[in-house]
Amino acid sequence: MAFELHKLDVLSTSQMFPSDKYLGAPMRGTETDKAYTLLVSRVACLGTFHHKEIGFTGPLSRHLLGYHQMTSVVRGSLRDLVEVHALSMAASGVVSRQLSPTDYTTLGAELPFVEEPDLGLSLVVKSFLDELSNEAGKRSDISRWFNHAYDISGDLEKAWNMWGAVSLQHTPDTTPD
């Protein structure tokens, strides 16, 4: 999904919603800090946030909500493309059609892009990076803003791993030859 969003020029540091209606863009730090907070938050929009099933409680961002809608459309389009290819393969006889109806159901559920990423991880990352850009004495603990989260530290670690994968950052292999 990140590749497709980049190809569409929406996975970037550009301000896509300059209107006052879409409040919630990063607000602290230098302009460079804000731009990268926005970019990392957009990447995090592709992941999931572990939260109690009571409905989301925490800070919102209309800016990231608007961005999430675009990622939902891209995910839905990619899912449709995968399903059409699977159907084409079955209809043309490229794959075996000797499956039971439950096998087709299982196969459909195992195709990629079945789950919609949520916005929560993006909001946690944006909140964390905004607070990190705040003056040291004025920083807040974001865990109290997301009081129904299961593991904010684990979710942030997942977001950093996603960022590393999307930005192609890796740790060099330090094993001797």
Q: Tokens at residue 175, please? A: 């094993």
- Report the C-alpha gap between 25 and 2 in whole angstroms: 20
Task: Give the dihedral sign, CA 51/140/160/173.
Answer: negative
- pLDDT bucket at 82, cuts 50 / 70 / 90: very high
20 or 99: which carries more pLDDT confidence? Answer: 99
Domain spans of the chain?
2-166
| pLDDT in the model for residue 21 | 63
In contact, 43 and 83? CB cutoff 8 Å: no
- DSSP letter at 137 equals G
Q: What is the pLDDT of residues 14-43, one digit of tens each?
A: 877 776 666 777 777 888 888 899 999 999
pLDDT value, residue 20: 64
Task: Tell me if 5 sits within 8 A of 11, measured CB to CB.
Answer: yes
- pTM here is 0.80
Q: Report the mean per-residue pLDDT for the chain.
A: 85
> What is the residue whose two structure tokens read 């990622």?
71
SS3 149: strand
